[in-house]
Amino acid sequence: MRRNIFIQKGRQVALLFTMLALFSFTPLHHGWSSYDQTKPANLTGKILEMSYENPHGMIKLEVKKKKWTVVLAPPSRMESRGLTKDMLKVGGTATVLAYPHLKIKDEMRAERITIGDKTTELR
């Protein structure tokens, strides 16, 4: 009987840790529903900053003196589709087809990116 109590308590503790792990990472990942897919925009500008890290890559793009944060795909997807870290050079030019964030006025989510003569689908 005593052994069953330990097993039951162990299961409860395991369930608690599982739930904590799941819920603690949920706010870190923003859903694509936060972007307005009815308002696509083509932006061409100079790359001011770049990140090629999980969960998503990112570039800061200067377009006509306005700075945009452009959320890209996860690095593994970009790499598998031919968009390498070296292509996202600071000072280089990029063109993105992107959707604006519903609440963050200077953030976009890229659907595709063109650097030089190479276009990469990110979705």
For 43-88, the pLDDT digits (tens) are 999 999 999 999 999 999 999 999 999 999 999 999 999 999 999 9
Q: pLDDT tens digit string along 1-33?
A: 566 665 666 676 555 555 555 454 444 445 678
- Name residue 39's amino acid: K
What pLDDT shows up at residue 28? 46
Residues 12 and 51 grouped into a single domain = no
46 and 85 share one domain: yes
Looking at residue 27, its pLDDT comes to 44
* pTM score: 0.75
Do residues 99 and 108 make contact, with C-beta atoms less than 8 angstroms apart?
A: yes
Our count of domains for the chain comes to 2
User: Quick one: CA dihedral 70, 73, 39, 114, positive or negative?
Assistant: positive
- What dihedral do alpha carbons 42, 87, 101, 34 form, nearest 10°? 120
Domain containing residue 6: 1-30
